[in-house]
Amino acid sequence: MGSVIDIDSSRPHITAELICIFCKKRWIAVFPEDSILAEWDCPYCGKDGGVICTGQHLLGGAGR
């Protein structure tokens, strides 16, 4: 088993609330700040291209 590597040591990340514009479900996610959310699939409805950030950044990520 490998050792745990701190995500902050190699890529800045954001902790934020995301929403799907299709099904309107919201969730909290931690993701690299260079992520292209428009390429993500919604974990609830499965549609792609509809995930956006609500603008509610949470403590712990680069988007404070």
Note the maximum CA span of the chain: 40
Does residue 5 form part of some domain? no
pLDDT at 33: 87
Report the number of distinct structural domains present in the chain.
Answer: 1
State the Cα–Cα distance between residues 62 and 22, nearest whole angstrom. 27
Closest CA to 22 of 44, 41, 50, 46: 50
pLDDT at 1: 62
pLDDT at 25: 98
The model's pTM: 0.73
State the Cα–Cα distance between residues 62 and 64, nearest whole angstrom. 6
Does residue 17 form part of some domain? yes
Give residue 46's domain range: 11-57
State the Cα–Cα distance between residues 17 and 5, nearest whole angstrom. 24
pLDDT along the chain (64 residues), means of 10: 72 90 96 91 96 84 46
Does residue 6 form part of some domain? no
